[in-house]
Every structure is written in structure tokens, then in C-alpha cells.
């Protein structure tokens, strides 16, 4: 594979049109140690190679970690407000480049332009939010139990942070990790998903153009076991932030534990949307369609189960299915298209496998189920929006994450029954309830086992300044977004200053 064209950071705001990307280590563009590359193809038309990336291994990761370690010595001492100003500038740069980056993203992973614009916007929002945090990074100052003694806690950076990301929000998720990390004074090595490195490079380019010094952010591309594992095992990496499947998350968690790394896991979901008899049905149908088929169902927060109370069950299904049939599937670069392809052949195969499982389990498939591969669809990984009804909550299609445009509709008796069904899964990411009854709404907020609950909105639509993440098999208790990320990327140091000029013994010297 030719690797003669380089993509370099640009300072004039133009986007290089070159197609071969090298690893970005210590501010330099370098080939992988093994000299191999891999292709990133457009899932809507696999004849198009969007770009070629380095297939990296331990040697490349080691070089990136060395660079990050060296850069940390200086970066940690740059005042946080100054670090944050660079992140603020990156937001302004991203605004200028938003359309180009959205188009790159649609080409590399298929979601429609309106959504890829939203993905870039999320990185912009995260940049503004985290830039603001640079002037806060609050810690507690508390009264001491002893006289003439001062007590406070300050946030300190952790050191080198490793990041491993999925492909479905390729710029947004990279931004959730990189931006708080650098504002807090850490340095980073990121390994983006092999389907979507371009969007991570676009973000990193904005950050370097905004003044983030060399070595602070390093990008190493490649496959999980080859390029991800060395990051998990490296003793100089002090924190790992991973977003991806629960199966891989388990490996990440156990491997990171061996070297006592901080480890944040944001994993899968099987998100329920409950529709009660008193709901605004039109609103619930619109929300359900957006939640189930937005991003081709490839969101960790996708509405993959819709639990509908019996009084409106048939009416909901009739209207929901009629609307699902009309969704326009196609190449996301066409502004009239509502749903793009699956990200790759494997994901399409998984979707089709679960459709067969659903049929075998006895769920009723009322629309969809077929791969689209004729005419304009012939070179892509397209699937019809698929709806199963009368699904038993214990069926595999109602329990396991499919990550495709396949939704299960489940009948329920009342709110209590709905919540039991909603909670009866291993995951706990997002959840939603449609009702006009405020008492039911607040009961659901209290009782749904999930990191996020929406009322009168589908299970998708998180904003960057609130904690994002889930319970149970969706994670290990950390949160991205908002102050949760600042908590993850800092360590507390408690500071006691005794100005009494004598030895004072805590818990022992008590004036009775
Ligand atoms: P994935 O788990 O297959 O891969 C995620 C990343 O891990 C990729 O970069 C991959 O290269 C890397 N990886 C794979 N095996 C590895 C290993 N052994 N060691 C180190 N790294 C390894 O997930 P995906 O297909 O990219 O993304 C889809 C999944 O991500 C879904 O389960 C979805 O729910 C989840 N997701 C979760 C959130 C969240 O915030 N909770 C957000 C988006 C996606």
C-alpha cells in the first residue's frame, strides 16, 4: 500500500484531501512499525476507499506512550485556564470545518448528514463546556477540626491516559474523552475504532491547530487486539477510557486492573421506551421512530424495546409500522435520506442473524427483515427498518443488544409491569416514558434501572454537560460528560496546612 502522501496539521484552516493517514505521535506523522495499512471504506458504497490508515502494534503504541509521558512533564504545569483556552479555540475551528467533517463522517460510517452534523456539533459543545471547566476544576475547602489549620482538596492530573473508542459517534466520543483529559492536564494516546479513524483525526487536527503542543495528544490506528491491548498493558498508562461493547469492555476492565489503572467503561444497552395509555400517541410514535432507526439503530442508547400499555397497543403498532415502512433508506450524503447503511458487513450479518432468531423465537415480524441490495443499494450494507411485535420480554431479541434497525414491541399491563419488563435485562443505559401523568413520570424516574431517563422523549438525545453512562452491564460506575468526566480525569490530593507552630494530632488533640 502506498504511503507517500502525508496528512499534516494545517494552520490555514484548509482540510487536506490526502487519503493516506499515518499515526500522529509527538506531533509527527509516522508510519506503523510493521509498515502495514488498512482501508476505511464507505459502507453506503464499498467501492469508495475513504482513507487508508496505519495498522499499528505494540511498537507504535510504545512510541506514542513515550511521547505522551514526556509531554506530561510540561503540560501538567500549564495553568488549566490556558489549557482550556486552546480547547475553546478548537471549538471555533470545528465550527468552520463542521460541514467538511460531517461529510467525511457520513462517508466513513454511513449515518445521515443531519446526524453527522450533530456529531461534530457535540464535539463543539463538549469543547465549550470543557473550556469552561478549565476555570473551575472545583475542589472542597473545609474547616479543619483543629485550630490554625487549613484543609482543602485539589484536583491533579493522572498522567498518560489511553482511550479506545467505537465507530458510532466517532468525533463526539473522542471529544468526550480527549477534551476533559487535556483540560485537566493529562496527556493522551487514542486508538480510534478501525471503521472511523478519520473523524478522530479531524478532531485532533483542530486541537493541534488550536495550539495543543506536540506529544499531548497522540493517535495510533489499528485493530483492537493489536493496537488496543498494548495500551491496556502499558505500565506508564495510568488511565483507560473505553467505549464499546460489553464483551470487549470485560477484557478491558480485567486487563487494566492488572496494572491498577483507573478504568472507565461505557458499554452496551438495550434501551426501553414505555408508552402508557395516557401518552400523546403521535409524539410517542415520532419519538420511537427516531429512537429506533436514527443512526440505523447503531446507538448505545437506541430505543430497541418499546413497551406499550394494552389500551393503546394496537393503535400504536398500526401507526408506528405504517411510518416505519415509509422511512427512506440510502446514502446518507443525500439530504432526503432518513436512514443510512449498517457500518460494515459484520454488523449487517449480526442484524440479519437476530432477525432469524426473532422469527425462530415466535415474535411477529410485521415489516422489514430484508437486506437491500439491488440498484442504488447494491454496493452498500443496507437493511430495511424492521419491527417485531408481540415480543416476549425474555426472547433474545428483547434481551441482547443487536445494534441495528430492529425494534421489539412488547405489550404491558400498567406502569408497574412496564418497569419490571424495562428493568429485566442485563444493561442499564437509557430509558424513557411517555405519559401525561406527573406522578407516574416521577415514579419511573425513581424506579427505572438506567443511567439516563427521558420523559416524553425517546431514549436518545444526551447533552454534553450532564453525566452520561449506565448501570449494570453498561459500565463500571464512571460517567462521561459533565462533571463526571472531570472526576475521572483527575485525582484528588488533600492538602493540610498547619499554621499553629506546634504538633497537633488529628482525632487525639480535642479541646473537651
Ligand atoms: P467494540 O467493542 O467491538 O470495539 C470498540 C473498540 O474496542 C474499538 O476501537 C476496537 O478496535 C477496540 N477493541 C476491540 N477488541 C479489543 C481488545 N481485545 N483490546 C483492546 N481494544 C479492543 O465496539 P464497536 O462495535 O466499535 O461499538 C459498538 C458497541 O459500543 C455497542 O455495544 C455500543 O452499545 C457500544 N457503545 C457504547 C456507548 C456508551 O457510551 N455506553 C457509546 C457508543 C457505543
Alpha-carbon distance of 480 to 469, in angstroms, equals 6
Grid cell in block for residue 381: 450494507
Atom from ligand 1 closest to the CA of residue 401: 32
Strand, helix or coil at 8? coil
Alpha-carbon distance of 458 to 216, in angstroms, equals 38
CA of 460 to the centre of ligand 1 (A): 18
Nearest residue (by CA) to ligand 1, atom 9, is 193
CA of 316 to the centre of ligand 1 (A): 34
Q: What DSSP assignment string belongs to 18-66?
A: --B--EEETTEEE--TT--EEEEEETTEEEEEEEEEE---HHHHHHHHH
The kind and range of the H/E element at 384 are: none
Tell me the pTM: 0.95
Q: What share of the chain is helix, strand, coil (3-state, %, to 5)?
A: 40, 25, 40
Q: Which residue is it, cell 483556552?
A: 85
Positions marked active-site: 266, 300
CA of 286 to the centre of ligand 1 (A): 29
CA of 2 to the centre of ligand 1 (A): 29
Pocket test for ligand 1, best of 57, 245, 267, 402 (most atoms within 8 A of CB): 245
> Could you tell me if the CB of 384 is within 6 A of ligand 1?
no
Per the CB < 8 A criterion, the answer to whether 238 and 38 are in contact is no
Alpha-carbon distance of 512 to 505, in angstroms, equals 14
Alpha-carbon distance of 175 to 243, in angstroms, equals 12
> Could you tell me if the CB of 298 is within 6 A of ligand 1?
no
CA of 344 to the centre of ligand 1 (A): 14
Packed helices 438-447 and 415-423: angle between N→C axes, nearest 10 degrees? 20
Atom from ligand 1 closest to the CA of residue 192: 9
* pLDDT tens per residue, range 3-27: 333 344 333 444 445 589 999 999 9
Pocket test for ligand 1, best of 233, 244, 401, 427 (most atoms within 8 A of CB): 244
CA dihedral 321, 325, 328, 329 (to 10 degrees): 100
Burial class (CB in 10 A: 0-12, 13-18, 19+), 100: middle
Nearest residue (by CA) to ligand 1, atom 12, is 224
| Number of helices followed by number of strands (H, E) in the chain | 14, 23
- The pLDDT of residue 18 is 52
Intervals of the chain under pLDDT 50 = 1-16
Atom from ligand 1 closest to the CA of residue 246: 32
Q: Structural domains in the chain?
A: 23-267+475-493 (3.40.605.10), 271-455 (3.40.309.10)
Per the CB < 8 A criterion, the answer to whether 268 and 245 are in contact is yes
Nearest residue (by CA) to ligand 1, atom 42, is 300
Atom from ligand 1 closest to the CA of residue 266: 41
- The pLDDT of residue 67 is 98
Atom from ligand 1 closest to the CA of residue 429: 41
- The pLDDT of residue 2 is 30
CA of 295 to the centre of ligand 1 (A): 16
Q: What is the 3-state secondary structure (H, E, C) of 186-198?
A: CEEEEECCCCCHH
Alpha-carbon distance of 108 to 167, in angstroms, equals 9
- The pLDDT of residue 339 is 98
Amino acid at each position: 500500500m502506498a504511503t507517500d502522501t502525508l496528512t499534516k496539521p494545517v494552520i490555514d484552516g484548509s482540510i487536506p484531501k490526502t487519503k493516506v493517514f499515518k499515526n500522529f505521535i509527538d506531533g509527527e506523522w509516522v508510519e506503523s512499525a510493521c509498515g502495514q495499512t488498512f482501508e476505511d471504506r464507505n459502507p453506503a458504497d464499498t467501492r469508495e476507499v475513504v482513507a487508508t490508515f496505519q495498522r499499528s502494534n505494540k511498537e507504535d503504541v510504545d512510541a506514542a506512550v513515550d511521547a505522551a509521558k514526556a509531554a506530561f512533564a510540561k503540560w501538567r504545569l500549564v495553568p488549566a485556564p490556558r489549557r482550556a483556552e486552546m480547547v475553546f479555540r478548537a471549538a471555533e475551528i470545528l465550527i468552520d470545518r463542521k460541514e467538511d467533517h460531517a461529510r467525511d463522517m457520513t462517508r466513513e460510517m454511513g449515518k445521515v448528514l443531519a446526524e453527522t452534523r450533530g456529531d461534530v456539533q457535540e464535539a463543539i459543545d463538549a469543547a465549550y463546556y470543557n473550556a469552561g471547566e478549565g476555570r473551575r476544576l472545583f475542589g472542597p475547602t473545609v474547616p479543619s477540626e483543629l485550630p490554625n489549620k487549613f484543609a482543602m482538596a485539589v484536583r491533579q492530573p493522572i498522567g498518560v491516559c489511553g482511550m479506545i473508542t467505537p465507530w458510532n459517534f466517532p468525533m463526539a466520543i473522542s471529544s468526550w474523552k480527549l477534551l476533559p483529559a487535556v483540560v485537566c492536564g493529562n496527556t493522551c494516546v487514542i486508538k480510534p475504532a478501525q471503521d472511523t479513524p478519520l473523524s478522530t483525526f479531524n478532531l485532533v487536527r483542530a486541537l493541534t491547530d488550536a495550539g495543543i503542543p506536540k506529544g499531548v495528544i497522540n493517535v495510533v490506528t489499528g485493530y483492537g487486539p493489536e493496537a488496543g491491548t498494548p495500551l491496556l498493558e502499558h505500565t506508564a498508562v495510568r488511565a483507560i477510557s473505553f467505549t464499546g461493547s460489553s464483551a470487549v469492555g470485560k477484557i478491558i476492565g480485567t486487563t487494566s486492573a492488572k496494572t491498577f489503572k483507573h478504568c472507565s467503561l461505557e458499554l452496551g444497552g438495550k434501551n426501553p421506551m414505555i408508552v402508557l395509555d395516557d401518552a400523546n400517541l403521535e409524539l410517542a410514535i415520532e419519538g420511537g421512530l427516531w429512537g429506533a432507526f436514527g443512526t440505523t439503530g447503531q446507538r448505545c442508547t437506541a430505543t430497541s424495546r418499546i413497551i406499550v400499555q394494552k389500551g393503546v397497543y394496537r393503535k400504536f403498532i398500526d401507526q408506528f409500522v405504517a411510518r416505519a415502512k415509509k422511512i427512506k433508506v440510502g446514502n446518507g450524503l443525500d439530504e432526503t435520506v432518513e436512514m443510512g447503511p449498517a457500518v460494515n458487513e459484520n454488523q449487517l450479518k449480526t442484524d440479519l442473524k437476530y432477525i432469524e432468531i426473532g422469527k425462530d423465537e415466535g415474535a411477529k415480524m410485521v415489516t422489514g427483515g430484508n437486506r437491500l441490495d439491488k440498484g442504488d443499494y447494491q454496493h452498500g450494507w443496507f437493511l430495511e427498518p424492521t419491527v417485531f411485535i408481540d415480543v416476549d420480554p425474555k426472547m433474545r431479541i428483547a434481551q441482547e443488544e443487536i445494534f441495528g434497525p430492529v425494534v421489539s414491541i412488547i405489550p404491558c399491563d400498567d406502569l408497574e409491569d412496564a418497569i419490571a419488563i424495562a428493568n429485566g435485562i442485563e444493561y442499564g443505559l437509557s430509558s424513557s416514558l411517555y405519559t401525561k401523568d406527573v406522578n407516574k413520570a416521577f415514579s419511573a424516574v425513581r424506579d427505572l434501572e438506567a443511567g439516563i431517563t427521558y420523559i416524553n422523549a425517546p431514549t436518545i438525545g444526551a447533552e454534553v454537560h450532564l453525566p452520561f453512562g449506565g448501570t449494570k452491564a453498561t459500565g463500571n460506575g464512571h460517567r462521561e460528560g459533565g462533571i463526571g468526566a472531570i472526576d475521572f480525569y483527575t485525582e484528588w490530593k488533600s492538602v493540610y496546612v498547619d499554621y499553629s507552630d506546634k504538633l497537633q494530632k488529628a482525632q487525639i488533640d480535642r479541646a473537651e
